[in-house]
Amino acid sequence: MAKSVKNIIITFVIGCAVFVLANFIFNGFDFESLNDFLINFAFYQLYAFVLGYSNMYFFDLIGRRHWKREDTIKRIVISVLGSTIITLIGLFLLRASTAVFYSGRTFGHFLANEKLHYYQFGLWVTLTIVIIFHVVYFYNKYQQNKIKEQKVIAGTASAKFDALKNQLDPHFLFNSLNVLTSLIEENPDSAQKFTTALSKVYRYVLEQKNKELVTVDEELQFAKTYMSLLKMRFEDSIVFTMPEKAKNPESKVVPLALQLLLENAVKHNMVTSTKPLHIKIYEDQGNLVVENNLQPKQILKKSSGVGLGNIMQRYDLLTNRKININKQANRFAVAIPMLTKQTSIMRTQETQPALNDSYMRALDHVDELKGFYYSLISYCLVIPFLIFINYKTSWGFQWFWFPMFGWGIGIAIQAFKVFVNDGAFGRKWEKRKMEEFMKNEKNNWD
């Protein structure tokens, strides 16, 4: 229903535009009477309706057909030729019907006096509209394809990032249970304390599971807690130093990055009282560095491949900044980038609803913008037309001011809604109110 109304409006606007253009070119709006003017206007609307709807139906059929990317030229040629044929047939039938049923001439008399140049103006108008239609159509198609490609890329990256995060839960729990098993055999009292602390640590793991980034301060606090667990097992065999807080409180890293790096340091190096493992965390040129003295184990258990590789893959999906690995004879250091608000990052599944909301708001804004432009074009076409009617009929009473100001106020309100981004009842005001409502709903559930 909405599409039919839209098509009727489009054909009416086209009819008005062609009426003004044709009379401006051919007779300079010289009408004998108001009745002559209305009849002439009605015929232009009839022509616009018949030719417009027939071409719209043809374009709809063309659009339903599956076209390959290399068929663009073929589609344009078929569309132009088809529109030309449909327009010529439509003009012929309309002119024949007008001659026979309105003017009272015979069909033979109509054919005898019909000339090709009678069709030139109608054909020129139709082809102009067809060209504009194809320019708009292919531009929109190009934009839609770009959006689809970006959504596929973002969806693939989001799924991959989510899969990498989901590796962390079983990985962390498995390694923690291994530590707990060792403690049960070596020190049952420490195993009990470890179990209590492990529950607190694992809560952090679950809380950060669906986040793409966490603050460095949060990660440092978690690293401190995690190292306290390891020290329950290794006691003084691990020497651990780290800052209390980050220099920039807004800086962020991927969740559990420090835990994985600390775990790798313990896993791949000897940790004994005679050869303690020194681990140091510090900031260096926008990176968070985890450094340890290198004393590799002679026999290593088979690696699961989750640790450092997982961090590198997650950073690859988030930013162009790379992880730096520095391995020397007696030192091993990994520098992970600290990201800030200004860093362009990929939206993951946690923020996908916000992305979808932004996308839907953008679509709504585009629809509002199109509606405003349709209204503005209609206003620019219809108001001069009404002024002309007022001038030809009863210029002493200038009634055209009423629709001009009334409709103009409506367009001004529509423009305010579309273009004003702040202030009373602007788009930012709408966003703030939506966020307040969602926050209140969340507090009610909490």
* Residue pLDDT, tens place only, 18-62: 887 777 777 666 777 888 888 888 888 888 888 888 888 888 888
Least confidently predicted of 200-209, 270-279, 398-407: 200-209
> Can you tell me the mean pLDDT for 251-274?
85
Q: Which residues pair with 288 in a beta bridge?
A: 283, 336
Asked if residue 189 and residue 60 are part of one domain, the reply reads no
Q: d(Cα 387, Cα 52) in Å, to the nearest integer?
A: 26
Assign 154 a pLDDT band (cuts: 50, 70, 90): low
Q: Which of 108, 123, 158 is the last residue of a domain?
A: 158
> Can you tell me the mean pLDDT for 308-337?
84
Tell me if 47 is assigned to some domain.
yes
Asked if residue 196 and residue 74 are part of one domain, the reply reads no
Q: Report the pLDDT value the prediction gives residue 419, as an integer from 0 to 100.
A: 65
Q: Which amino acid is at 420?
A: V
Cα 353 to Cα 253, 346, 349, 350, 444: the distances in Å are 22, 14, 8, 7, 20
Tell me if 120 is assigned to some domain.
yes
Tell me if 108 is assigned to some domain.
yes
- Give pLDDT tens digits for 353-376: 444 455 556 666 666 777 777 777
Whether pLDDT at 202 is above 70: yes
Asked if residue 327 and residue 198 are part of one domain, the reply reads yes
Asked if residue 320 and residue 175 are part of one domain, the reply reads yes
Assign 155 a pLDDT band (cuts: 50, 70, 90): low
Tell me if 100 is assigned to some domain.
yes
Number of domains in the chain: 3
Tell me if 179 is assigned to some domain.
yes
> Can you tell me the mean pLDDT for 6-26?
78
Among 296, 294, 288, 299, CA closest to 260: 288
Asked if residue 138 and residue 44 are part of one domain, the reply reads yes
Q: Which of 158, 187, 221 is the last residue of a domain?
A: 158
Least confidently predicted of 28-37, 92-101, 291-300, 316-325: 28-37
Q: d(Cα 435, Cα 442) in Å, to the nearest integer?
A: 10
Whether pLDDT at 7 is above 50: yes
Asked if residue 324 and residue 380 are part of one domain, the reply reads no
Tell me if 345 is assigned to some domain.
no
Q: Report the pLDDT value the prediction gives residue 160, as an integer from 0 to 100.
A: 54
> Can you tell me the mean pLDDT for 219-224?
88
Q: Which of 337, 363, 380 is the last residue of a domain?
A: 337
Q: d(Cα 427, Cα 416) in Å, to the nearest integer?
A: 10
Asked if residue 318 and residue 187 are part of one domain, the reply reads yes
Assign 436 a pLDDT band (cuts: 50, 70, 90): low
- Give pLDDT tens digits for 404-431: 777 778 777 777 776 665 444 555 555 6
Asked if residue 323 and residue 210 are part of one domain, the reply reads yes
Asked if residue 175 and residue 146 are part of one domain, the reply reads no
Tell me if 314 is assigned to some domain.
yes
> Can you tell me the mean pLDDT for 275-292?
92
Which range in 85-99, 300-314, 380-394 is most confidently predicted, on average pLDDT? 85-99
Asked if residue 197 and residue 295 are part of one domain, the reply reads yes
Tell me if 344 is assigned to some domain.
no
Asked if residue 401 and residue 286 are part of one domain, the reply reads no
Assign 336 a pLDDT band (cuts: 50, 70, 90): very high
Q: d(Cα 374, Cα 239) in Å, to the nearest integer?
A: 71
Residue 174 host element (H or E): helix 168-186
Whether pLDDT at 384 is above 60: yes
CATH code of the domain covering residue 315? 3.30.565
Asked if residue 269 and residue 239 are part of one domain, the reply reads yes
Pairing of strands 287-293, 277-284: antiparallel
Q: d(Cα 378, Cα 86) in Å, to the nearest integer?
A: 27
Whether pLDDT at 5 is above 80: no
Enclosing domain of residue 5: 1-158
pTM of the model: 0.43
